[in-house]
Structure 1
C-alpha cells in the first residue's frame, strides 16, 4: 500500500489551525507560563534517558490538539505502518525504505545478519592487529572514501563517539578537491593503511575520482598486487569493484532498500565499527531500534519524533519561519548539524507533492547551527535580537564523560539560560532600546543522560523519524533526491567542455564566460 496522498491544506485541521493562528500569533510565551503553573508538566515527554521539554514554544494546549488532529487526518499512522512493513513508499524510485530493518535484532533479515557478522569479523581482525598489510605490519590508519551519506554519517558518529575509540586513526576523504586528498595522504603510510571505498553504484564521480587517485598513489609506493590487502569496498556493483582490484571477500553489501543518508547503520558504517569496535557499534544500532519502537508504538501526544515534527510544521507554515537551528551542548556533536543538513534538506526540500502537483505551502526548512557555547559567541546575537524568528533545538547531556563537573555545570547553565533568555527577553520595554530583547523566541530542550553509543543511536533515529513525519504531513516523497541528480548531470557536461577546452560546447552564457576566464590563466 502506498503512502496516503493528502494535501494538508485541504484538511479540516489545517483550516482550524489557520484560524487558531490568527487568534494566537501575538501571544507571549511568558504570559502562557504565568497563566498555567502546570505548563511544563503538560508539555514534556520522558522516555528512557531522554527528557524533552517543549513548553518553550509558541503554542497553547489547543494548538497541540489541532496539530495532533492534523497528524490523524493525513493518516500518519497508516504511513508509519507502510514504512515498517516494507511497502515501496519511495515511489519515484520504486523502493522500500527500511533502514529501520538494519537495527532490528528481534526480527533481523538474514542478509543483514550476515553483513553484521562480516563487519564484526573484519573489524576484530583489524583491531586485534591479526590483519596485516602487504609488508606484514598491522593496520594503524583507516581512510573512508565516500561522499554524502557514505561520508557524513560515519564521520559524524566517529567524531561523536571518539571517547570510545581505540588506537586506530580514522580519516575521511569526500570532497573531489584534490588538495584535500593529498593532505590526507601526507598523514599516512601505504604499509599500514586500509582504504574503505563506499559507493553503492561505484560510479559516483567524486568517490571514483578520489579512490582512483588514492589507488595510483598506493600502487606507486607499493604494488598492484598489494591492493587486495589494503582496499575494501562497500557497494552493490561487484563487477566494478572487482575491476578496481578489490577481492570478493573484501566487498561489503549495500541494499536497494537503504537510502544513502540513512545508511550509517549498515556496512557504510564499517569505519565506525573499526574505530569503536563492534560491541559499541551494535549498541549504536540497538539504541536506534529502541527509538524505532518508541516511534511506532507511542501515542502521538507522547511521541518525541511526532511532537517535534508537528512543531516544525507549525513554525514553517504558519509563522513562515524559513530556518531552524540545532544547538548541541557538547563538542562531541560538532558534526551533527552537517549530518542533519543532508538528512533534512535532501529529504524534504521538495516542491512537488505525492500527487505530482506543485506545492503552494512550505516544505523543508533550512537547517543550521553549531555547538554551544561556541554558538553563543557567534550567531546568538541574531537569535536574541534579530528580525528573524528561528526555532531552536537545544541538545544537552547531564553528565560529562571525563567527570569534569565544573565544566559540565557551566555548560548546562549556559544551555538552560539561553533557552530562558530566548523565552523571557529583557522583560522591560523602558530600558535602553539597544539593550531591549522582546523574547518570545521558541525552543525545545532535549536533555540526555550522557553521550554513549546507545544514546547517540536514539538521537539520530529521533531526527530520522521527525523527517519522515514532516514528509508525510507535507505530502512529499522524502526518500528521493532528484535535485542532486540534476547537478550531477550538469557537472558531467561541463567537465567535458573543460577537459577538451571546448568552450563553444557550453550553451549557458554565464558558464561560458567562467570557462573563458579560467582559460586566461593557462
Structure 2
C-alpha cells in the first residue's frame, strides 16, 4: 500500500529544507552562482524541451522531492495504471486512457482497442471522402466537458493540418445561444452531426442533439442515419434517436481523458487517420518516457513534484498557463478540467480528510493577449503564481505565405518568441528599487517624489516559471504535450494519496438540477431554501 505524502519521512525533510533555505531561495543568486543551472534543470521528453531552471528549487530540493515520490511509491502506482489495474477505487475501475494510445500488443485490451480505433478511423476517412466529393461541408460536434474540451482544443491546435474546405463546429452549452450561433451557417443536406455522450443521457448534450435533429428535419433533412453519428457506449439509446453509426468506449476512460478514444472522432475527421495515429504515437512516446526514464531525468515526475512543492510548502494556490501560440488558446481551459476535476479532492483514497491543499487553480490565456490582461498581477501582485510558458519555434499557417506577407509573418513570429522569453525573464529578474529610481527620475511626475514613483515601478522578481519548447505544433508534439500534463497530474495525485480518476463533486449539482427542472414548470417552491425559491420565482417571471 502506497503511503500518503504527508506521512513519509521525506515530507518532514522537505519541510525542514523549506524552513531552512527554501523559503528564502533567490533565483537571481542561483543563476549567478551556477553557470550550468539552465542545462542541469532542462529535460527532454518525446520531442519536448522543458526548462525547469527558473523554479524555486535546488539540486537538494529535487533530490528530496524524488525521495518523496519513492516513499509514496509513485512508480508502483504508475505501473499499476499502465497494467490496467483498477486504481480508480471508488468506482472499481481501471484507468485505461494510456492503453488507447499504445500500439498493437503493447497495452491492456489491445485487440479491442485496435478494433475500435480502426472502425473509428475508417469512418473518419469515409466522412473526409464525402467532404472531398462535395457532399459535406460542415461537421457539428455536440458534447460537453471532456467530450468537448479535448476535441475542440485539438482541432483548433491542429487547424493547419486539417482537410481544407471542411468546417468543424463545437456546441457544448445547454444555453440555446451556443447552437443557434452555428445553425444559420449550415445546410442540412451537407452537415454531419456527432453526438458525444458516453451514457447518451447527458442532459446538455441531449438537449442540443434533439434541437439539432429538429432543425435538420425542419430544413428538409430525411436521412438521419447519414447525417448523425454518436460516440457513446449506449448503442440502444443512440439507435432509438435514429443513429446507426455508434462508436463506443469503456468505463475506464473518463471524459477528461477521452480524447484518445472515439471521442477524438472530430479530430480524426479533421486531420485524417495517419495524422491521428501520429497524435497517439506522440502521447505513447511520452508515456514510455514516464514509465522508463530514471527519476532524475523524468519530466512528468518532476513537474508533478514541483506542483506538490509549490502547493504544500510554498503555499501557492494557482498556476497560470500561457501558450504563446494562437492555436493553443483553448489549452488552458482544457488543463483546467484535467487538473481541477482530477485533483480537486478533500479526502484521500481511504476517505480521510486531508490536512493539506491539493489541486491549484489552473487558468490562463494565450500570449500575448494575457500580457495585456493579467500579467500585471503576475509581476507585481501580492500572490506568487507560477507560470507555464509554451512556445513553438516553427510556425505553420495552413498555407505557404509568399513575398511581403511571408516577411511580415516571420517578423510577427519573432516578436511572439521575444515576448514569451522576455516575460519569463522579467518574472525571474524583476526590477530593483534602485533601478526604478534611476529609470524614472528623468520623467518623474512632479507631484510625486522619485522614490515614491520608483516603488510603483519596481518589480520583486524571483517569480517561478516553466518554459516548454516545441519545434512544431503538429499531431505528435500535441499528443506528447497533452500526455505530459496527464502524467504530471497523476504524479501529484499519487503523492497526495487521492483518487485522481473520479469526479463525485460534479454529481450533486446535476442531481439538484433534475429536481429543480420540473419546479420551473410547476412553480412549486415547497421545501426550497428562501434564496433558491426566490430565484425560481424570478426565473418564471413571477
TM range (shorter): over 0.9
SS of residue matched to 2:50? strand
Asked if residue 118 in structure 1 is aligned to residue 119 in structure 2, the reply is: yes
Structure 1 unaligned blocks of 5 or more:
none
Q: CA RMSD in A?
A: 1.5
CA distance in 2, matches of 1:456, 1:331: 14
Corresponding residue of 2:356: 361
Maintained 8 Å contact 1:423/1:441: yes
- Encode CA deviations 1:460-481: one digit per residue, 9 max, x unaligned: 0000001111110011000000
Deviation, 1:5, is 4.4
Maintained 8 Å contact 2:120/2:265: yes
Corresponding residue of 2:528: 507
Asked if residue 252 in structure 1 is aligned to residue 252 in structure 2, the reply is: no
CA distance in 2, matches of 1:468, 1:46: 19
Deviation, 1:48, is 4.7
Maintained 8 Å contact 1:309/1:470: yes
CA distance in 2, matches of 1:490, 1:277: 41
CA distance in 2, matches of 1:64, 1:461: 22
SS of residue matched to 2:259? coil
SS of residue matched to 1:261? helix
SS of residue matched to 1:128? helix
Asked if residue 426 in structure 1 is aligned to residue 448 in structure 2, the reply is: no
- Encode CA deviations 1:224-258: one digit per residue, 9 max, x unaligned: x51111111111111111111112xx111111111
SS of residue matched to 2:24? coil
Corresponding residue of 1:496: 518
Structure 2 length-normalised TM = 0.92
CA distance in 1, matches of 2:262, 2:46: 28
SS of residue matched to 1:270? helix
Maintained 8 Å contact 2:139/2:167: yes
Maintained 8 Å contact 2:391/2:417: yes
Asked if residue 239 in structure 1 is aligned to residue 236 in structure 2, the reply is: yes
SS of residue matched to 2:466? strand
CA distance in 2, matches of 1:330, 1:365: 24
Asked if residue 274 in structure 1 is aligned to residue 231 in structure 2, the reply is: no
Maintained 8 Å contact 1:350/1:476: yes
Corresponding residue of 1:462: 484
- Encode CA deviations 1:258-305: one digit per residue, 9 max, x unaligned: 111111111101111111111111111111010010011011121111
Maintained 8 Å contact 2:13/2:64: yes
Match of 2:380 among 374, 378, 385: 385
Deviation, 1:111, is 1.6
SS of residue matched to 2:10? helix
SS of residue matched to 1:445? strand
Structure 1 length-normalised TM = 0.95
Deviation, 1:7, is 2.3
Deviation, 1:499, is 2.1
Asked if residue 11 in structure 1 is aligned to residue 16 in structure 2, the reply is: no
CA distance in 2, matches of 1:374, 1:415: 11
Deviation, 1:405, is 2.7
Maintained 8 Å contact 1:5/1:354: no
Deviation, 1:222, is 2.5
Maintained 8 Å contact 1:126/1:138: no
SS of residue matched to 1:195? strand
Mean Cα displacement is larger for which, 5-14 or 368-377? Answer: 5-14
CA distance in 2, matches of 1:466, 1:163: 28
Corresponding residue of 2:204: 206
Q: For residues 82-121 of structure 1, what are the structure 2 equivalents within 5 Å?
A: 82-107=80-105, 109-121=110-122
- Encode CA deviations 1:89-136: one digit per residue, 9 max, x unaligned: 00111110011111111425112211122122212222122898xxxx
Maintained 8 Å contact 2:329/2:366: yes
Structure 2 unaligned blocks of 5 or more:
398-405, 438-453
Maintained 8 Å contact 1:125/1:131: no
Maintained 8 Å contact 1:146/1:173: yes
Describe the shift of the 1:429–1:477 C-alpha distance in structure 2 as closer, same or farther (beyond 3 A).
Answer: farther
CA distance in 2, matches of 1:47, 1:481: 30
Deviation, 1:427, is 3.3
Corresponding residue of 2:539: 518
Asked if residue 448 in structure 1 is aligned to residue 470 in structure 2, the reply is: yes
CA distance in 2, matches of 1:489, 1:443: 40
CA distance in 2, matches of 1:22, 1:384: 25
Match of 1:262 among 257, 268, 275: 257
Q: For residues 341-356 of structure 1, what are the structure 2 equivalents within 5 Å?
A: 341-356=336-351
CA distance in 1, matches of 2:147, 2:224: 21
Corresponding residue of 2:447: none
Maintained 8 Å contact 1:5/1:355: no
SS of residue matched to 1:197? strand
Corresponding residue of 1:184: 182
Match of 1:306 among 301, 304, 323: 301
CA distance in 2, matches of 1:68, 1:58: 16
- Encode CA deviations 1:429-485: one digit per residue, 9 max, x unaligned: 463111111101000111111111110000000000011111100110000000001
User: Number of matched residues?
Assistant: 510
SS of residue matched to 1:129? helix
CA distance in 2, matches of 1:481, 1:273: 28
CA distance in 2, matches of 1:512, 1:130: 51
- Encode CA deviations 1:3-46: one digit per residue, 9 max, x unaligned: x4422111111001111111121221111111222211211112
